[in-house]
Amino acid sequence: MEPSEVEFLGEKKMVSIVPHFSSGIIHLISGPVGPFRANLPVKVPIWLALNLKQQQKCRILAQDWMDTENLNELIEKEKGEKLFTEMPSDHFMDEAQMLLTAGADDIPDVDNIRTAVKDIWDLRNAKLRSSVIAFVKNQGSTYAKLDHLTAMEINSIRSLLPETLNVMLQIEESGKSSTSTESQQFSSTLDTTHSQNQS
């Protein structure tokens, strides 16, 4: 999966906009949107917000969590804990990327928000990296908890980790196969279910 595809999924999240026009309810497959009243905030999916913004038909309001104080608190919390902390959104990185780029002139304090989000991203990335290395190194504990990991982060290790585990499984299997063939079949079925979970 490419980052742009993860972003595509993130575009389904809702965001508040202030429209410059009035219109009735628009019926979409994902559900009705609107009604739009000029200057009254309304929640729409991000993709629609971006589109309306391009036509200069609305003003984008920042998500509730997009304010520097809140983000700095999150940074402190993330620094303090060994495990991952909960993020305000499953797609915080892509949402920030889209909204802060498109709505740069609408959202106050854009640069600071962007820096804070990037800080969180870097912190969590470093954490993810070290935990992946630890996970591979002592694979005696054969599972990893992915609580509070966001979609973009999971996607960022997908290019390497599943293949690595695959290789390790194959080496392990070949060690067992000399003793019994039955266990090999068992672990190869395990392997397929495992890779399905990964993708």
Partner 1 sequence: MSLIQPNQYFSIKDILVTEERVSSEVRQPMPNLGFLCSSSKKEHLDPGSKLDIPVWLASSLSSKHKSIVSCELPRFYKDSYKEILHADACAVELNKWNQYFYELGLILPPIVKDDNQQIPELLLEVFKSRFRLIMDCEQSVFGAHSIQVQLTALEKQLLKQGNQGKMLLINWLNKGVKHIQTSDVVDNLRKRKRMEV
- Is 159 a binding residue for partner 1 by CB under 8 A? The answer is yes
Question: How many residues sit close enough to partner 1 to count as binding (CB under 8 A)?
Answer: 31
The 68-107 site mask, x for binding partner 1 (CB under 8 A), equals -----------------------------xx--x------
Coil, strand, or helix at residue 63? coil
Compute the least distance from the CB of residue 38 to partner 1, in Å. Answer: 28
CA 146 – CA 128 distance, rounded (Å): 10
Compute the least distance from the CB of residue 137 to partner 1, in Å. Answer: 5
CA 39 – CA 76 distance, rounded (Å): 36
Instruction: Dig out the tokens for 185 from the structure.
Output: 């079949």
CA 86 – CA 91 distance, rounded (Å): 12
Compute the least distance from the CB of residue 155 to partner 1, in Å. Answer: 8
CA 43 to chain centre: 21
- Is 170 a binding residue for partner 1 by CB under 8 A? The answer is yes
DSSP category for residue 13: S
- Is 3 a binding residue for partner 1 by CB under 8 A? The answer is yes
Instruction: Dig out the tokens for 80 from the structure.
Output: 């303090």
Question: Exactly one of 80, 82, 133, 147 binds partner 1 (CB under 8 A); which one?
Answer: 133
CA 95 to chain centre: 9
What residues make contact with partner 1 under the rule CB under 8 A? Answer: 2-5, 7-8, 97-98, 101, 129, 132-133, 136-137, 139, 155-156, 158-160, 163-164, 166-168, 170-172, 174-175, 178
